[in-house]
Amino acid sequence: MLKFLVYDDGKPAAAWALRNAHLIGSDGSTMRGDIRFEQGQILCEKREAGSMALALQYPVDELGEMTLQTCLLPDQDQPYLLSLEIARHRLMLLYTKLEDWGLMELDADHPLSKRADNARQLFIEALCLQREHPQESEGMARQCLNVALDSSEELALAHSELLLNRRKSTGALPQTPIGCGVSSDFQPGKQRQGLAGNFDFVQLPLCWKQLAPEEGEYRWQSTDDWTAWTDKQKLSVVGGPLLSFDPSALPDWLYIWEHDYDTVRDLVYEHVERVVSRYHESVDQWLVVSGLHVNRHFCFNFEQLMDLTRMTTLLVRKLAPDSRTLIELRQPFGEYYGNNPRSIPPMMYSDLITQSGIPFDALALRLLMGQALPGQFTRDLMQVSLLLDQYAVFGKPVHLTIAVPSEPVTEMMIALEAGQQPIDPDSGQWRRPWSPQVQAHWMEAVFQIALARPFVESVAWDQLIDHPQIELPLSGLTSESAQTKPALRRIINFRRNLLSSADTLHIEADGDKEPAAETSPTPPPALP
């Protein structure tokens, strides 16, 4: 068992919300175990052998509140100090990436070197005070974490800027790097005004629930209109997902067969065949399956999940041989695995579909943040950077879909499942509570980090416009009344500068240069 002392305002905590709390094993995957708070301590009991780390949502002064983790720790009778162990992990991560990215030889006067040294000194002081003066150690550890986390984000952005400029200068940018998702049945006229000329591709939903709300009866009109428009505009289209077992994507009538795998398999085959046959001339890339590895709703076994993945991919390749096939991973940090023994960790699933010879062309990662639902709790920029680097090992291009809200998502906005108790809407925040300005800063930073990776083929914002059926409320680039948010202007100018011949990145808005604090790819500590 692991025990962690937690403090609140310099005193042992009387209560502690265990938001997004989970255990992580030595392979980086989530471990199964029990986590609870008792008498000022967090107690962690694992159900598997080996060292483990604790991850949970944790406040970091002015930098926000994000899911952070400790290092791998052995069991011991004495409790660890949570703030010190989280600071230890972040400091270790900072120095590891400085070495991995060849930046250890920075001058001692370089700001990043000074901040790293400051964080190390604070950690040493906190470590020395841990046994005799835990409250003072807590304060030092929090200061260390604040400096180390801020420095690691700066490092992630500085490294990505170097890589992106190199990718630009060598002509290695993808042909269609930046796209946006749309709603197939909500105000198409307003959406199309923001798409034409500003994005390289459209991510068009082909939701089974919307296409066939009644068994055997398909409603093609809205999707037909979209494909006719994209053909006319000569916009590339990513269509799908063709198969997802998320309740928002699955027709209600299919639940009759949820325990009959053979019937479900036949119905999936028929559905995929009808959709691909109809749109194979308009869709350039197919999101074939999405989130099957999470396996949260239809309780199929491992072999059945792999069979569905293989069958649908082969069918799309047969019907649309000139198109590319993508397999999408949802909740890519993999927290879900600790609570669902029928699921498959995302890295394991990626390895399995790669090694099993399934003929797909690229991996797609879906990374939404800012909602207190599984997989959507807030993470920092270094974690996003490391997540992407993990998928380089598979030798497949990566397509990334991202989004965060422009306002905090409240409990009333979260779609609760039938019978579920009201939930805490606190999903964390990045530097400041979510706002249009924070959304724009986060978007720009993650676009830069992603497109700096040579294996990242494209990045798409999840939705152009807010609408009632949106998965992440308030995450559109325009409001429901089509009022433009700052993120849309930034993404347009980011794309313009990305495709320009300039050697360095700079951001402009509405034809005028923004103030210096806005032009830097590194978000300032105090956002407007």
| Burial class for 336, CB neighbours closer than 10 Å (0-12, 13-18, 19+) | buried
User: What's the mean pLDDT in 283-290?
Assistant: 97
Q: What is the pLDDT of residue 423?
A: 61
CA distance 265 to 250: 14
Q: Flag whether pLDDT at 50 surpasses 60.
A: yes
Instruction: Say if residue 528 is exposed, middle or buried (CB neighbours under 10 Å; 0-12, 13-18, 19+).
Output: middle
Q: Tell me the pLDDT band of 310, cut-offs 50, 70 and 90.
A: very high
Per-position DSSP letters for 140-204, written without gaps between them: HHHHHHHHHHHHHHHHHHHHHHHHHHHHHHTT---SS-EEEE--TTS-HHHHHHHHTTT-SEEEE
pLDDT band at 190 (very low <50, low <70, confident <90, very high): low
Return the higher-pLDDT residue of 429 and 509.
429
Reported as a single tens digit per residue, the pLDDT across 127-144 is 999 888 888 999 999 999
CA distances from 249 to 203, 245, 358 (A): 15, 7, 24
pLDDT in tens, 316-374: 999 999 999 999 999 999 999 988 888 999 999 999 999 998 999 999 999 999 999 98
Confidence of residue 35 (pLDDT cuts 50, 70, 90): very high
Looking at per-residue confidence, does 190 or 509 come out higher? 190
Q: What is the mean pLDDT of residues 7-22?
A: 91
Residues 6+ apart with CB under 8 A from 49: none
Give residue 527's pLDDT band: very low, low, confident or very high (50, 70, 90).
very low
Look at 196 and 65; give whichever has higher pLDDT: 65
Residue 289 to residue 107: CA distance in whole angstroms: 48
- Residue 520: is its pLDDT beyond 60? no
pLDDT of amino acid 378: 97
Task: Quick: pLDDT tens for 414-435.
Answer: 655 434 555 667 999 999 999 9
Q: Is the pLDDT of residue 188 over 70?
A: no
- Alpha-carbon distance of 33 to 46, in angstroms, equals 4
Q: What mean pLDDT do residues 252-272 have?
A: 93
* Domains, the chain, with CATH or none: 2-163 (no CATH), 174-519 (3.20.20.80)
Burial of 280 (0-12, 13-18, 19+ CB in 10 A): middle
Q: Are strands 64-69 and 429-430 parallel, antiparallel or unpaired?
A: antiparallel
Look up tokens 């500590």; give the residue. 525
- Structure token pair of residue 62: 């002015």
Give tens-digit pLDDT for 436-463: 999 999 999 999 999 999 999 999 999 9
